[in-house]
Structure 1
Amino acid sequence: MSARTPTRPANPADGGMDVRLPWWALALPALAFAVLLLLLTGPSDAQAAGGSGALAQFLELVRQTLGHLGV
């Protein structure tokens, strides 16, 4: 008589690990992408003329948001 081969459960999630990403795992890459996009597409001549640039406004908004979150 041959021995029975153990089989895996029908639903591997029952005995498996719960995979969840923290909020910052999605927010940080999106923020980095937005900053790089602004750096590449922003008008560099307008910032050199003394005007408030889009990057400066964006960074100020990020600073205010993080201040409200208590980070």
Structure 2
Amino acid sequence: MSAASSPSPAVSRSPAVKARRLRTRLPWWALALPVVSFIALLALVASASEASAASPPQGLTWLLEALARIVPIGV
């Protein structure tokens, strides 16, 4: 039972070869998705500044009442 005399591939590589191999190109969508998301959020914020003042949100009142019925406080 003799051991293999050749060094393993991971040991024989120099740091420069490893660094070169680690540099990979990003796919096109890895840059496009954050850009599109940023533009969409910026458009939402810009359009919200033009909105007129409205009555208090009715959905929030309904949600708080529903939570008060579900979670009994002070019982």
Same fold (TM over 0.5): no
With the length of structure 2 as denominator, give the TM-score of the two structures. 0.39
Larger RCO (CA within 8 A; separation ≥ 6) = 1
Q: Which structure would you say has the larger Rg?
A: 2
